[in-house]
Amino acid sequence: MLALSSTILLSSLFPSPSAHAATYNYDVRVQVDDKLIAFPDAQPFIDENQNTMVPIRFISEELGYKISSDMNGQQVKVTIEGSGKSVIFLSGSSEAVVNSQKTNFGTKAVFAEGRVYVPLRFISELFGIRIQWDNKNFNAIINKDGNYHEPAWYRPTAMTPAPAPAPAPALSIGEKIVQDAKKYVGTAYLWGGTTPNGFDCSGFLKYVYSPNEVSLPRTSAQMATVGTWASSPNTGDLVFFSETGSRISHVGIYIGNNSFISATNSGVKIDSLGSSYWGPRYVGTKRVV
């Protein structure tokens, strides 16, 4: 027995392929209700007239129709029986005999690759079967049970590239000064020192602030004469202390979280403004950035 095939007419639904048979579009699928039909030896395709060709043998088996075929001279005669109707096609002809009455279905039945192709839309209309057209996935969905169905196959889509990470927010001058200052934690104390070979408190601040375009006087007492007094410190502000009780003798950089960094007798280190030593000696804050 010759295997059978059919044509789904999608003239208004799919793009027109080239008129040459070698450029047929084979990227089309068919399902009956929720079941995707497998076509192991003859794949569905869209021809040059925008007819989507699909093997009917497997579909007919799903629909429960009886199919037979035989040679009629140089033509192949195909008979489909079901739902009280008998339909006869001849390959190369656009006419069918339906219950002994001739009718034109508009597309020639084609014999190719050992199979006969006939219009599935004509079959669906003839036997009263509804077909859904899934344009997005090129999928013909035959509603055997009369209900609408979701596609059983979805066309893969290109992966959407992950969005580029948002750029890190730019540091404020105060944050940049604190970032630079922390690089020197552990540097030894040196009276009059102004380099990483050794710092005193004011020498350390001049070294850190200068690259950030903030010019400061040389001593802690002189630094207390510039900038603006602030009621509470912000990152990068100067914080002053009096260790003698009569004059400013120490200065540091506020780094946030009630802490500051400064060059002490034990080297560059981070301390708390509320510590038992520095808390009572805290004088105030100056804003210079």
What is the reported pLDDT for 139? 85
pLDDT band at 120 (very low <50, low <70, confident <90, very high): confident
Distance in angstroms (rounded) separating the CA atoms of residues 150 and 88: 32
* Domain-wise residue ranges, the chain: 3-143, 173-287
Looking up tokens 């007492």 gives 221
| Mean pLDDT along residues 211-233 | 95
Centre a 10 Å sphere on the Cβ of residue 161 and count the other Cβ atoms it contains.
Answer: 6
Task: Enter the CATH code of domain 173-287.
Answer: 3.90.1720.10
Highest mean pLDDT among 20-24, 63-67, 217-221: 217-221
Could you tell me the two tokens for 174? 């105060």
What's the gap between Cα 221 and its chain centre?
A: 59
Q: Which positions ≥6 away from 25 have C-beta within 8 Å? A: 14, 17, 45, 46
CA separation for the pair 24, 236 (Å, rounded): 71
| Phi, psi values for residue 167, rounded to 5° | -65, 145
The CATH number corresponding to 3-143 among 3.90.1210.10, 3.30.457.10, 3.40.50.10420, 3.40.640.10 equals 3.30.457.10
Report yes or no: 66 and 78 within 8 Å, Cβ to Cβ: no
pLDDT at 23: 52
Residue-wise pLDDT for 128-176, tens only, equals 888 888 888 888 889 989 899 998 888 887 766 778 888 878 999 999 9
